[in-house]
Amino acid sequence: MISSPQEERKAKTLQRALDEIADLDLEGQGRKGGFTCKALADGRQQISIPSFGDTLSIFFPQGDIEFPAFIDSFSLQVLALRYIKLSCDKPITGEWIAYRDLPGGRFYAATLVPTVEQPLAQAFGTSPGLLAKAAAGFGGLKVDYGDEAYVFYPFPRTPLLSVLHWGDEEFEPDCRILFDRCCSHYLNTDDLKILATQLSAYLLKWSGAQVQIENLLWMVE
């Protein structure tokens, strides 16, 4: 079977991410990144990473990846491998910052509004309680900001905060995605943009919107 150029590119991207962690102490990285690595009876190692309220698994040395169907996407697979590589034991700070405040984030910060924040505001900002139903399916934890706000954990130490303000006769609905300050230690700024877009895509798809969720790496390539 002949692979398309796109499929070949995806395979190379995934293999490169696997190669970059091949020689790491995966158990040690797990302790630093809040995930587990255990030896299996057949000689393989299994990494289990909490993700969006469920768990993804990566098996070494083959590099096989198993995702729950509701979050399975190529881009999240690659980001999971990059998260393993950069896991560094930096604690979650509880300090929420905008994308523009991430290292080098100011230049592309404006692109998050039309691609991530406005679509979420339009989908959820006129139906109080709808975001709560969507968030429950992705492990969102309710917090006290805005009219509705939820913290999501794509990976254990990259929490994202979605803050929604409902619309009314005077104001349009508004949504903001914020990052814990520790996030930039675990993924670079481009990858955090992909992660926020991935979260938005999952929520929008839940709402019935036609959105791309399978491969969002194109945004920064």
137-190 pLDDT, tens digit each: 999 999 999 999 999 999 999 999 999 999 888 899 999 999 999 999 999 999
Residue written as token pair 């190692």: 45
By residue range, what is the domain housing residue 49? 5-86
How far apart CA 156 and CA 50 sit, in angstroms, is 6
pTM for the model stands at: 0.93
How far apart CA 192 and CA 146 sit, in angstroms, is 23
Predicted local confidence at residue 201, as pLDDT: 93
Closest CA to 122 of 133, 135, 109, 113: 113
Residue written as token pair 């590099």: 63
Contact 134, 209 (CB under 8 A): no
Contacts of 6 (CB under 8 A, 6+ apart): none
Predicted local confidence at residue 157, as pLDDT: 99
The DSSP element (H or E) to which 196 belongs, if any, is helix 189-206
Predicted local confidence at residue 212, as pLDDT: 59
**Which residue, 58, 86, 114, sits at the end of a domain?**
86
Predicted local confidence at residue 220, as pLDDT: 46
Are residue 103 and residue 206 in the same domain, yes or no? yes
Are residue 109 and residue 66 in the same domain, yes or no? no
Q: What would the two tokens of residue 64 be?
A: 């096989």
With respect to residue 14, please indicate whether it lies within any of the assigned structural domains. yes
Averaged pLDDT in 10-residue chunks for the chain of 221 residues: 75 92 95 97 95 96 91 93 97 98 92 93 95 97 98 99 93 97 97 95 88 56 48
The residue type of 183 is C
How far apart CA 152 and CA 139 sit, in angstroms, is 6
**Which residue, 86, 105, 126, sits at the end of a domain?**
86
Are residue 212 and residue 111 in the same domain, yes or no? yes
